[in-house]
Amino acid sequence: MASTGTLFLIFAVTFIREGNAQNTFVNVNCKENVGQYGQQSLLECIVQTTSEASDIQIRVVTWRRQGADKPALVFHDGRIDPKSSFTFAEPSWNNKNMNVSVLIPNTRVADNGRYTCMVMTNSGDGKGEVNLKVTAKYSEPIISSIPEKITPGSNGELTCETHGGYPKGDIRWFVNDNTDWTKSSKMEVKGAQDGLLHLSSKLPLLHGSIFSKYTCIVYNATGGKEAEAVFIPDPEVEEHTAVYQVSGESVTLECSFTESPNSNDELIGMYLYHDAKTQEQVLYYHSSPGPEKISPRIRYSKRVEKRGSLKKHTITISNLTVEDSGIYRCVYKKNVQSEDIRNVYILVVSAYVRHIYPFKNCDRCQAWCPRQYKVAPYSVSKKESEPDGSEEVSTPDVNHWCHLCRQHNGHHDLHLAH
Protein backbone atom coordinates (compact mmCIF):
# COMPACT_ATOMS: atom_id res chain seq x y z
CA MET A 1 0.00 0.00 0.00
CA ALA A 2 2.80 2.41 0.86
CA SER A 3 4.46 1.75 -2.51
CA THR A 4 1.20 2.42 -4.38
CA GLY A 5 0.66 5.62 -2.42
CA THR A 6 4.15 6.84 -3.26
CA LEU A 7 3.64 6.21 -6.98
CA PHE A 8 0.27 8.02 -6.88
CA LEU A 9 1.90 10.95 -5.07
CA ILE A 10 4.64 11.31 -7.68
CA PHE A 11 2.05 11.16 -10.45
CA ALA A 12 -0.02 13.81 -8.69
CA VAL A 13 2.96 16.15 -8.30
CA THR A 14 3.77 15.83 -11.99
CA PHE A 15 0.14 16.40 -12.98
CA ILE A 16 -0.26 19.44 -10.74
CA ARG A 17 2.95 21.04 -12.06
CA GLU A 18 1.81 20.61 -15.66
CA GLY A 19 -1.62 22.02 -14.81
CA ASN A 20 -0.16 25.07 -13.06
CA ALA A 21 2.66 25.73 -15.48
CA GLN A 22 1.22 29.08 -16.50
CA ASN A 23 0.55 30.38 -12.98
CA THR A 24 3.31 28.91 -10.82
CA PHE A 25 4.74 30.99 -7.98
CA VAL A 26 7.50 28.44 -7.15
CA ASN A 27 10.93 27.89 -8.70
CA VAL A 28 13.54 25.29 -7.67
CA ASN A 29 17.10 26.47 -8.33
CA CYS A 30 19.91 23.93 -8.15
CA LYS A 31 23.72 24.02 -8.35
CA GLU A 32 26.04 21.51 -10.05
CA ASN A 33 28.26 19.55 -7.69
CA VAL A 34 31.18 17.10 -7.61
CA GLY A 35 31.11 14.19 -5.17
CA GLN A 36 34.18 12.33 -3.89
CA TYR A 37 33.94 8.56 -3.77
CA GLY A 38 33.48 7.26 -0.21
CA GLN A 39 32.75 10.75 1.12
CA GLN A 40 29.57 12.70 1.85
CA SER A 41 28.14 14.57 -1.16
CA LEU A 42 25.69 17.47 -1.33
CA LEU A 43 22.87 17.88 -3.86
CA GLU A 44 21.96 21.53 -3.49
CA CYS A 45 18.53 22.92 -4.42
CA ILE A 46 16.67 25.96 -3.01
CA VAL A 47 12.97 26.74 -3.38
CA GLN A 48 12.36 30.33 -4.42
CA THR A 49 8.91 32.00 -4.55
CA THR A 50 7.54 35.18 -6.06
CA SER A 51 6.49 38.15 -3.98
CA GLU A 52 2.81 37.26 -4.50
CA ALA A 53 3.24 34.02 -2.56
CA SER A 54 3.15 34.17 1.23
CA ASP A 55 3.24 31.74 4.13
CA ILE A 56 4.67 29.04 1.89
CA GLN A 57 4.56 25.48 3.19
CA ILE A 58 6.08 22.48 1.47
CA ARG A 59 3.79 19.51 1.13
CA VAL A 60 5.88 17.13 -0.99
CA VAL A 61 9.60 16.76 -1.88
CA THR A 62 10.83 14.00 -4.15
CA TRP A 63 14.46 13.38 -5.18
CA ARG A 64 15.14 10.89 -7.98
CA ARG A 65 18.17 9.97 -10.05
CA GLN A 66 17.43 9.57 -13.74
CA GLY A 67 17.26 5.89 -14.65
CA ALA A 68 16.75 4.75 -11.04
CA ASP A 69 13.92 2.36 -10.18
CA LYS A 70 12.77 4.27 -7.12
CA PRO A 71 13.18 7.73 -5.53
CA ALA A 72 16.20 8.45 -3.33
CA LEU A 73 14.14 10.62 -0.94
CA VAL A 74 10.41 11.23 -0.49
CA PHE A 75 8.80 13.67 1.95
CA HIS A 76 5.01 13.79 2.28
CA ASP A 77 2.36 13.94 4.98
CA GLY A 78 4.84 15.73 7.22
CA ARG A 79 7.39 12.93 7.29
CA ILE A 80 10.28 11.40 5.32
CA ASP A 81 9.73 7.97 3.82
CA PRO A 82 11.84 5.59 5.96
CA LYS A 83 13.07 3.82 2.80
CA SER A 84 14.84 6.99 1.65
CA SER A 85 18.60 6.58 1.18
CA PHE A 86 19.26 10.36 1.29
CA THR A 87 18.67 12.85 4.14
CA PHE A 88 17.99 16.57 4.13
CA ALA A 89 21.19 18.60 4.43
CA GLU A 90 19.80 20.61 7.34
CA PRO A 91 19.16 18.32 10.34
CA SER A 92 16.31 20.48 11.67
CA TRP A 93 14.57 20.72 8.32
CA ASN A 94 10.80 21.28 8.33
CA ASN A 95 8.15 22.06 5.74
CA LYS A 96 8.73 25.82 6.01
CA ASN A 97 12.43 25.49 5.19
CA MET A 98 12.97 26.30 1.53
CA ASN A 99 16.39 24.61 1.48
CA VAL A 100 15.54 21.19 0.10
CA SER A 101 19.21 20.16 -0.44
CA VAL A 102 20.05 16.56 0.43
CA LEU A 103 23.15 14.62 1.52
CA ILE A 104 24.48 11.36 0.14
CA PRO A 105 26.15 9.75 3.17
CA ASN A 106 28.64 7.46 1.42
CA THR A 107 29.06 8.37 -2.23
CA ARG A 108 29.41 5.50 -4.70
CA VAL A 109 30.05 5.38 -8.42
CA ALA A 110 26.42 4.30 -8.81
CA ASP A 111 25.37 7.71 -7.40
CA ASN A 112 26.85 9.45 -10.43
CA GLY A 113 24.20 11.02 -12.69
CA ARG A 114 21.49 13.63 -13.09
CA TYR A 115 18.92 14.19 -10.33
CA THR A 116 15.47 15.74 -10.38
CA CYS A 117 14.05 17.51 -7.33
CA MET A 118 10.25 17.91 -7.45
CA VAL A 119 8.58 20.19 -4.88
CA MET A 120 4.86 20.81 -4.23
CA THR A 121 3.78 23.69 -1.98
CA ASN A 122 0.52 25.29 -0.97
CA SER A 123 1.27 28.00 -3.57
CA GLY A 124 2.28 25.81 -6.49
CA ASP A 125 4.98 23.35 -7.47
CA GLY A 126 8.35 23.40 -9.16
CA LYS A 127 11.13 21.18 -10.43
CA GLY A 128 14.88 21.52 -10.49
CA GLU A 129 17.71 19.38 -11.87
CA VAL A 130 21.28 18.91 -10.73
CA ASN A 131 24.15 16.81 -12.06
CA LEU A 132 26.39 14.96 -9.61
CA LYS A 133 29.82 14.04 -10.93
CA VAL A 134 31.39 11.34 -8.78
CA THR A 135 35.19 11.24 -8.77
CA ALA A 136 37.75 8.92 -7.21
CA LYS A 137 41.48 9.53 -7.08
CA TYR A 138 43.72 6.96 -8.75
CA SER A 139 46.33 5.12 -6.71
CA GLU A 140 50.06 5.72 -6.95
CA PRO A 141 51.15 4.02 -10.19
CA ILE A 142 53.52 1.05 -10.20
CA ILE A 143 55.93 0.31 -13.06
CA SER A 144 56.98 -3.25 -13.79
CA SER A 145 59.26 -4.51 -16.55
CA ILE A 146 59.70 -7.59 -18.71
CA PRO A 147 62.38 -8.78 -18.38
CA GLU A 148 62.93 -7.65 -14.79
CA LYS A 149 66.35 -6.27 -15.74
CA ILE A 150 66.24 -3.75 -18.62
CA THR A 151 69.59 -2.76 -20.15
CA PRO A 152 70.41 -0.36 -23.02
CA GLY A 153 71.18 -3.27 -25.30
CA SER A 154 68.01 -5.31 -24.74
CA ASN A 155 64.39 -5.42 -25.87
CA GLY A 156 61.68 -5.27 -23.24
CA GLU A 157 58.39 -3.81 -22.09
CA LEU A 158 57.30 -1.48 -19.28
CA THR A 159 53.84 -1.67 -17.72
CA CYS A 160 52.39 1.15 -15.63
CA GLU A 161 49.31 0.31 -13.53
CA THR A 162 46.98 2.31 -11.31
CA HIS A 163 43.56 1.51 -9.83
CA GLY A 164 40.68 2.82 -7.74
CA GLY A 165 39.93 5.87 -9.88
CA TYR A 166 36.84 7.31 -11.57
CA PRO A 167 35.91 8.44 -14.18
CA LYS A 168 38.26 7.21 -16.91
CA GLY A 169 41.65 8.92 -16.69
CA ASP A 170 44.80 8.63 -18.76
CA ILE A 171 48.35 7.32 -18.43
CA ARG A 172 51.10 9.16 -20.25
CA TRP A 173 54.78 8.29 -20.65
CA PHE A 174 57.69 10.72 -20.65
CA VAL A 175 61.36 9.98 -21.33
CA ASN A 176 64.26 11.95 -19.88
CA ASP A 177 61.81 14.14 -17.92
CA ASN A 178 60.03 16.12 -20.64
CA THR A 179 59.63 14.26 -23.92
CA ASP A 180 56.15 12.79 -24.39
CA TRP A 181 56.46 9.15 -25.49
CA THR A 182 52.78 8.17 -25.02
CA LYS A 183 52.21 7.57 -28.73
CA SER A 184 54.29 4.40 -28.48
CA SER A 185 52.17 2.94 -25.65
CA LYS A 186 48.82 1.17 -25.42
CA MET A 187 46.39 1.65 -22.53
CA GLU A 188 43.72 -0.75 -21.27
CA VAL A 189 40.78 0.09 -18.95
CA LYS A 190 39.00 -2.45 -16.72
CA GLY A 191 36.11 -1.88 -14.33
CA ALA A 192 35.68 -3.41 -10.87
CA GLN A 193 32.42 -4.44 -9.18
CA ASP A 194 32.29 -1.17 -7.24
CA GLY A 195 32.52 0.78 -10.51
CA LEU A 196 36.05 2.01 -9.93
CA LEU A 197 38.54 1.66 -12.79
CA HIS A 198 41.90 -0.02 -13.30
CA LEU A 199 44.24 1.55 -15.88
CA SER A 200 47.17 -0.29 -17.42
CA SER A 201 49.57 1.07 -20.04
CA LYS A 202 52.26 -0.95 -21.83
CA LEU A 203 55.31 0.70 -23.43
CA PRO A 204 57.56 -1.46 -25.67
CA LEU A 205 61.33 -0.91 -25.45
CA LEU A 206 63.54 -1.60 -28.45
CA HIS A 207 67.22 -2.47 -28.59
CA GLY A 208 69.33 0.62 -29.17
CA SER A 209 66.48 2.99 -28.23
CA ILE A 210 66.55 2.73 -24.43
CA PHE A 211 66.39 6.06 -22.61
CA SER A 212 68.02 6.78 -19.27
CA LYS A 213 64.73 7.57 -17.48
CA TYR A 214 61.04 6.73 -17.96
CA THR A 215 58.24 8.54 -16.11
CA CYS A 216 54.65 7.28 -15.99
CA ILE A 217 52.12 10.00 -15.06
CA VAL A 218 48.45 9.41 -14.19
CA TYR A 219 45.95 12.11 -15.19
CA ASN A 220 42.30 12.32 -14.11
CA ALA A 221 39.34 12.85 -16.45
CA THR A 222 39.74 16.63 -16.38
CA GLY A 223 43.43 16.45 -17.35
CA GLY A 224 44.79 17.11 -13.86
CA LYS A 225 47.96 15.32 -12.80
CA GLU A 226 47.36 12.90 -9.91
CA ALA A 227 50.48 10.78 -9.43
CA GLU A 228 53.63 9.51 -11.14
CA ALA A 229 56.25 6.77 -11.01
CA VAL A 230 59.80 6.63 -12.38
CA PHE A 231 61.74 3.74 -13.93
CA ILE A 232 65.52 3.82 -14.43
CA PRO A 233 66.96 1.11 -16.72
CA ASP A 234 69.91 -0.87 -15.46
CA PRO A 235 73.17 0.95 -16.31
CA GLU A 236 74.78 -2.25 -17.57
CA VAL A 237 76.57 -1.71 -20.86
CA GLU A 238 78.04 -3.91 -23.55
CA GLU A 239 81.66 -3.47 -22.50
CA HIS A 240 83.28 -2.85 -19.15
CA THR A 241 87.06 -2.96 -19.32
CA ALA A 242 89.80 -2.11 -16.81
CA VAL A 243 92.95 -0.51 -18.23
CA TYR A 244 96.22 0.14 -16.36
CA GLN A 245 98.63 2.72 -17.77
CA VAL A 246 101.55 4.84 -16.56
CA SER A 247 101.89 8.61 -16.48
CA GLY A 248 103.22 10.01 -19.74
CA GLU A 249 101.93 7.17 -21.89
CA SER A 250 98.76 6.94 -23.98
CA VAL A 251 95.59 4.84 -23.89
CA THR A 252 93.29 3.80 -26.74
CA LEU A 253 89.58 3.35 -26.07
CA GLU A 254 87.17 1.79 -28.55
CA CYS A 255 83.64 3.16 -28.92
CA SER A 256 81.18 1.04 -30.89
CA PHE A 257 77.43 1.58 -31.32
CA THR A 258 76.58 -1.83 -32.77
CA GLU A 259 78.34 -4.94 -33.87
CA SER A 260 77.64 -3.82 -37.42
CA PRO A 261 79.05 -0.37 -38.23
CA ASN A 262 76.84 -0.33 -41.35
CA SER A 263 73.54 -0.57 -39.44
CA ASN A 264 70.72 1.82 -40.27
CA ASP A 265 70.54 3.45 -36.80
CA GLU A 266 70.68 7.22 -37.22
CA LEU A 267 73.00 9.05 -34.81
CA ILE A 268 73.71 12.72 -34.32
CA GLY A 269 76.88 12.27 -32.29
CA MET A 270 78.69 10.75 -29.33
CA TYR A 271 80.08 12.07 -26.04
CA LEU A 272 83.12 10.61 -24.31
CA TYR A 273 82.71 11.33 -20.59
CA HIS A 274 85.29 11.09 -17.82
CA ASP A 275 84.01 10.45 -14.29
CA ALA A 276 86.31 10.88 -11.31
CA LYS A 277 85.35 13.21 -8.46
CA THR A 278 83.08 15.00 -10.94
CA GLN A 279 81.92 14.29 -14.47
CA GLU A 280 83.55 16.08 -17.39
CA GLN A 281 83.40 15.84 -21.14
CA VAL A 282 86.48 14.60 -22.92
CA LEU A 283 85.11 15.32 -26.39
CA TYR A 284 82.05 15.41 -28.58
CA TYR A 285 82.04 13.47 -31.84
CA HIS A 286 79.93 15.41 -34.35
CA SER A 287 78.01 13.58 -37.04
CA SER A 288 75.89 16.49 -38.24
CA PRO A 289 75.68 19.11 -39.50
CA GLY A 290 78.59 18.86 -41.89
CA PRO A 291 81.37 16.25 -41.97
CA GLU A 292 82.23 14.09 -38.97
CA LYS A 293 84.72 15.60 -36.54
CA ILE A 294 85.66 15.62 -32.87
CA SER A 295 85.64 18.61 -30.53
CA PRO A 296 87.92 17.98 -27.54
CA ARG A 297 87.46 19.98 -24.35
CA ILE A 298 90.25 22.28 -23.18
CA ARG A 299 92.00 19.81 -20.85
CA TYR A 300 92.23 17.27 -23.65
CA SER A 301 93.08 19.66 -26.46
CA LYS A 302 95.96 18.32 -28.62
CA ARG A 303 95.95 15.08 -26.59
CA VAL A 304 93.23 13.11 -28.40
CA GLU A 305 93.18 11.39 -31.75
CA LYS A 306 90.26 9.66 -33.47
CA ARG A 307 90.37 6.76 -35.92
CA GLY A 308 87.32 5.25 -37.63
CA SER A 309 83.71 6.32 -38.09
CA LEU A 310 81.09 7.43 -35.58
CA LYS A 311 79.56 3.97 -35.12
CA LYS A 312 82.90 2.24 -34.63
CA HIS A 313 86.07 4.15 -33.82
CA THR A 314 88.95 4.48 -31.36
CA ILE A 315 89.96 7.48 -29.27
CA THR A 316 93.61 7.72 -28.21
CA ILE A 317 94.45 9.98 -25.27
CA SER A 318 98.16 10.77 -25.00
CA ASN A 319 100.40 12.25 -22.28
CA LEU A 320 98.38 10.65 -19.49
CA THR A 321 98.51 12.03 -15.97
CA VAL A 322 97.22 10.64 -12.67
CA GLU A 323 94.28 13.05 -12.98
CA ASP A 324 93.15 11.13 -16.08
CA SER A 325 92.30 8.11 -13.90
CA GLY A 326 88.61 7.33 -13.62
CA ILE A 327 85.67 5.93 -15.57
CA TYR A 328 85.27 6.67 -19.28
CA ARG A 329 81.90 6.22 -21.00
CA CYS A 330 81.00 6.26 -24.70
CA VAL A 331 77.50 7.79 -24.84
CA TYR A 332 75.75 7.86 -28.22
CA LYS A 333 72.98 10.31 -29.12
CA LYS A 334 70.09 9.70 -31.51
CA ASN A 335 68.46 12.99 -30.60
CA VAL A 336 68.84 15.75 -28.05
CA GLN A 337 67.07 13.82 -25.27
CA SER A 338 68.34 10.27 -25.85
CA GLU A 339 71.39 8.70 -24.22
CA ASP A 340 72.74 5.27 -25.13
CA ILE A 341 75.75 4.13 -23.10
CA ARG A 342 77.72 1.60 -25.13
CA ASN A 343 81.24 1.23 -23.70
CA VAL A 344 82.69 1.78 -20.23
CA TYR A 345 86.35 1.74 -19.28
CA ILE A 346 88.07 2.04 -15.89
CA LEU A 347 91.43 3.69 -16.39
CA VAL A 348 94.09 3.60 -13.68
CA VAL A 349 97.09 5.85 -14.36
CA SER A 350 100.14 5.28 -12.16
CA ALA A 351 102.64 8.05 -11.46
CA TYR A 352 105.52 5.58 -11.53
CA VAL A 353 107.95 4.38 -14.20
CA ARG A 354 106.66 1.44 -16.15
CA HIS A 355 109.50 0.38 -18.44
CA ILE A 356 112.99 -0.86 -17.59
CA TYR A 357 115.45 1.23 -19.50
CA PRO A 358 118.03 -0.76 -21.52
CA PHE A 359 120.38 -2.79 -19.36
CA LYS A 360 123.70 -3.97 -20.77
CA ASN A 361 123.77 -7.62 -21.72
CA CYS A 362 120.13 -8.26 -20.65
CA ASP A 363 118.02 -8.06 -23.77
CA ARG A 364 115.79 -10.90 -22.62
CA CYS A 365 115.22 -9.27 -19.24
CA GLN A 366 114.36 -6.02 -20.98
CA ALA A 367 111.59 -7.78 -22.89
CA TRP A 368 110.36 -9.88 -19.98
CA CYS A 369 110.09 -7.33 -17.17
CA PRO A 370 107.73 -4.80 -18.77
CA ARG A 371 105.29 -7.59 -19.51
CA GLN A 372 105.12 -8.52 -15.84
CA TYR A 373 104.59 -4.92 -14.76
CA LYS A 374 100.97 -5.12 -15.97
CA VAL A 375 100.11 -7.77 -13.39
CA ALA A 376 99.73 -5.46 -10.38
CA PRO A 377 100.35 -1.88 -9.23
CA TYR A 378 103.83 -1.16 -7.97
CA SER A 379 105.93 1.70 -6.61
CA VAL A 380 109.39 3.04 -7.30
CA SER A 381 111.55 3.37 -4.21
CA LYS A 382 114.68 4.60 -5.96
CA LYS A 383 115.65 5.67 -9.46
CA GLU A 384 119.22 6.73 -10.29
CA SER A 385 121.35 6.93 -13.42
CA GLU A 386 123.98 4.25 -13.77
CA PRO A 387 127.38 4.96 -15.26
CA ASP A 388 126.56 2.81 -18.28
CA GLY A 389 123.47 4.86 -19.08
CA SER A 390 120.92 2.46 -17.61
CA GLU A 391 118.61 3.25 -14.72
CA GLU A 392 118.33 1.63 -11.35
CA VAL A 393 114.72 0.71 -10.51
CA SER A 394 113.52 -0.81 -7.25
CA THR A 395 110.09 -2.39 -6.97
CA PRO A 396 109.08 -5.80 -5.58
CA ASP A 397 107.77 -7.01 -8.93
CA VAL A 398 110.69 -5.65 -10.95
CA ASN A 399 113.28 -7.12 -8.60
CA HIS A 400 111.55 -10.49 -8.55
CA TRP A 401 111.14 -10.94 -12.29
CA CYS A 402 114.41 -9.33 -13.33
CA HIS A 403 116.29 -11.34 -10.73
CA LEU A 404 114.96 -14.54 -12.35
CA CYS A 405 115.90 -13.15 -15.73
CA ARG A 406 119.41 -12.38 -14.57
CA GLN A 407 119.88 -15.86 -13.19
CA HIS A 408 118.52 -17.42 -16.36
CA ASN A 409 120.94 -15.50 -18.59
CA GLY A 410 123.93 -15.83 -16.33
CA HIS A 411 124.33 -12.04 -16.05
CA HIS A 412 125.57 -10.99 -12.62
CA ASP A 413 126.71 -7.48 -13.48
CA LEU A 414 123.21 -5.89 -13.27
CA HIS A 415 122.71 -3.64 -10.33
CA LEU A 416 119.16 -3.71 -8.80
CA ALA A 417 118.44 -2.04 -5.48
CA HIS A 418 117.33 -4.29 -2.64
More confident residue, 83 or 24: 83
Same domain assignment for residues 223 and 264 = no
Report the pLDDT averaged over residues 377-387.
38
* Last residue of one domain, picked from the residues 195, 211, 231: 231
Residue 208's pLDDT is what? 63
DSSP annotation of 183 reads: G
Whether 12 maps to a domain, the answer reads no
- Each residue's pLDDT tens digit, 299-335: 998 899 999 888 888 999 999 999 999 889 888 887 7
Say which CATH number the domain at 271 has.
2.60.40.10
More confident residue, 139 or 379: 139
Residue 218's pLDDT is what? 97
Angstrom distance (rounded) from CA 163 to CA 398: 68
Residue 227's domain comprises 142-231
Same domain assignment for residues 156 and 99 = no
Whether 405 maps to a domain, the answer reads no
pTM: 0.53
Contacts of 163 (CB under 8 A, 6+ apart): 138, 139, 192, 196, 197, 198, 199
Residue 418's pLDDT is what? 29
- Each residue's pLDDT tens digit, 125-138: 899 999 999 999 99
More confident residue, 413 or 30: 30
Angstrom distance (rounded) from CA 265 to CA 263: 6
Domain count, the chain: 3
Give the helix/strand (H/E) hosting 5.
Answer: helix 2-19
